[in-house]
Structures are given as structure tokens and as C-alpha cells.
Structure 1
Amino acid sequence: MRHASLTLFVALGVTACATKPPAPPAAPAPQSTAKSALVNLAPASGSLVSGRVMLAPMRDGVHLTGTIGGFQPGSVHGLHVHDKGDCSAADASSAGGHFNPTASAHGRAGTATHHAGDMDNVTADGNGQVQLDIHLSNVTLGGGAANDIANRALVVHAAADDYMTQPSGNSGARVACGVIQVKG
């Protein structure tokens, strides 16, 4: 009996030593360091579209609010964060392509496959204005993480995004562009 107890004790000790230690906790997701940002949208491609958009970090992304005007009443437009914070070209081509740090295919925000800068289309009201109230998930504002949208461009397009055509959703010319400028 004594021999059996010793064997069991040794076996339990060996088993305990062979068990893997618990994995270290996952690194925390990057957090926004800015309190807010502002975008002054200026016309591009000969349009009359302009506006002002405020951005505020939230727990799982960034919230955009503001007003964009100069549209035809009832018209629908694509809206995206673009990779470069440069709106110097007359057609806003200097802003580069959609912000896409994970090299995903273009798609509709909220679906499994889309660029980090993809958002749902916006529709102008009867006065040719859009009141923005959009939550952009899985991005940060400030801090320099791969998914940081600070100092990138917000671009409004002439047509609706079809959410399928690669790489940009066939949303037409860039009719307004502004740099996402951190305020604090």
C-alpha cells in the first residue's frame, strides 16, 4: 500500500509539472490618445460640397458628427477615411486610397470584410445637406497605432458606394476632402 501511494504521489507530481502555465494576458487593444478631432471638408473636383465634421473617440472606435452641404436633394454619396492626410490635388487624389491597415477587401462597414475606412452611404435631405451621426468601429484617434485615423483624410464621393466593386466601391469622383486634425 505504501508503494502504491508513493507511485500515485510521483505520478501526480509529474503530471503537474507537465501542465502548461497559463498564457499571459493578451495585450490591450490600442486606445485613442486624442480627445477630439476636426475635419473641415473643402470642395474637390469642381463641386460645391463642403462641411465640418467632429470626431470623438469611443470605447470601440470613433464617432463622427457634423453637417455636409452642397449636394443635390436626395442624392446618395460614399464617405470614407482615406490613407493620406493630403487634400492638395484639385480632385483630392492626393488623399490616396481607402484607409486599409489590415489589407482587407472593400465592403460595407459592419460586415466581416471591409476597409477600416469604409462607412455606410449618406443621403442628402431636401436642402442638400447631410447630418452625420456615424460610428466607425475598430479605429483609434491619435496614438499612432496601425488603425489610427488621425492626420488621414475624410473624403466624400459623388455617387453611392456599391460595397462590392474593388478596391473602392465605384463611388465616383471625390467631391470633398478634409484632413482629420487632432484637437486635444
Structure 2
Amino acid sequence: MKVIIGVLSALLLVVSGCSGEERSPLKTSIYNADNDKIGTATLTEQPDGVQVKLKVEGLEPGMHAVHVHEFPKCETPDFKSAGNHFNPLSKEHGLMNPKGAHVGDMPNVEADQSGMIDTELMLPEAKMKEGQKSLLRDKGTSIVIHSGQDDGMTQPAGDAGERVACGAITLKADEDEASDPTEPDKKQEGN
């Protein structure tokens, strides 16, 4: 009897894992204030959180804050439609804050002299699947890049400056067909 229950439980897990929409990895496009696609963020659920591979160009060289925000809205030019930081646990802002951090807080990233960011980050408390800390709960969230760096403490957003780029994190994020400027042009490669 225990064997039958174990087999049925395993089958249920397999079927439930295959029946839902694919949540990981998920690639979302990043747009600037002029609504030009400037790169992508690829989010992959890992045992220790969500890995974020960020590849973006066209930024000012130097340090930039990156956060996940609470709404999947990236209305130009200021991206305020993305709301506040994703903070389902009601903590204070900042990776250095003893009362923090928000689930959506990430380390600063550096754009090189050409304005390119190509890095991997981690959201240790986030999930892609269902649950309170899911980046896809409700209708989703967004990833926002700021003009300056996050100081890791100042409330509510680390004194990180203006929002300069944004990408909606939704189940339909993969459907964006705009060309990615950070990838070689496939048509030109064939010539």
C-alpha cells in the first residue's frame, strides 16, 4: 500500500509540474525611457532563490541600482507605474539594513565604459512558482534599473536616483519579439 501511495504521489508531482505554464527560466525585455529595447533579464529559479542574468546596453557608465518592483508596468518615461520595491514580507529597504532587505533588493551593478552591463545577480528569497515571494504572483512584477547606485540603507529605495530602464516580469514576457541589441544580428551573421 505504501508503494502504491508513493508511486501515485510521484505521478501527481510529475503531472502537476507539466500541466502549468513554464515559469523558469523566463526572459524579459528591458526598455529605456524612449521605449527602446536595450537588453534582457533572464530569471531562473534555483534552490537558493532566483538567479537574474542581466545583459543591457546604453546606460551611463558607472554604478546602477537594480531592484524588482511590485507591478508589471513599465510606462515611460519615468517607470513610476512599476510601484515600490517588491516587499511582500514588509521589511525595510537595503541589503545592509539589519531590518531588511526587501525581497526585490539586489546588489548594485556596474555599466562599463561603453554603457554595457553583463552580469549575474541573485534574489535569495524570491521564487518563480506560486507563493507570497513569487515574482509572478498576481500579474507579476518588474525589474528596474536606476540612474545611480543604491546606498543599501536609505528608506524607502536606497537614494538610487531616477528609474532609467524597466522590464515587466510576467508569464508572457518571453513573447516579446523586439530584437535584442545586446545579441549579434542573426541576419548579418549569415552574410
- TM-score category (smaller protein): 0.7 to 0.9
3-state SS of paired residue (1:70): coil
1:89 CA drift (Å): 4.1
Partners of 1:49 and 1:176 within 8 A in 2: no
Deviating above 4 A after TM superposition, structure 1's stretches of 4 or more consecutive aligned residues are 46-49, 109-112
Q: Where do 1:74-153 residues align within 5 Å?
A: 75-108=62-95, 113-143=100-130, 145-150=131-136, 151-153=140-142
2:29 to 40, 43, 64: 40
Deviation string 1:136-165 (CA, Å, 9 cap, x unpaired) is: 10110132x110112200000000001111
Distance 1:125 1:48, change over 3 A: farther
Secondary structure of 2:81 counterpart: helix
Overall identity of the aligned pairs, in %: 33
Contact 1:49/1:71, CA 8 A, preserved across alignment? no
Residue 176 (structure 1) aligned with residue 165 (structure 2):
yes
TM-score of the pair, normalised by structure 1: 0.74
Counterparts of residues 7-22 of structure 1 (less than 5 Å): none
Partner residue, 1:71: 59
**2-side partners of 1:167 and 1:94: how far apart?**
16
Name structure 1 gaps, 5 residues minimum. Answer: 1-32
Match of 2:42 among 50, 54, 57: 54
CA 137–106 in structure 1, closer or farther in 2 if over 3 Å, else same: same
1:155 aligns with 2:144: yes
Contact 2:147 2:160 in 1 (8 A): yes
SS at match of 1:153: strand
TM-score (norm: length of structure 2): 0.71
CA distance in 2, matches of 1:49, 1:170: 25
Equivalent in the alignment of 1:6: none
Contact 1:63 1:134 in 2 (8 A): yes
- Asked if structure 1 preserves the Cα contact closer than 8 Å seen for 2:29 and 2:37, the reply is no
TM-superposition CA deviations, 1:110-136 (whole Å, max 9, x none):
966210000000001122101121111
Larger Rg computed on CA atoms: 1
Q: Does the aligned pair in 2 maintain the 1:47–1:175 contact within 8 Å?
A: no
Length, aligned pairs only: 151
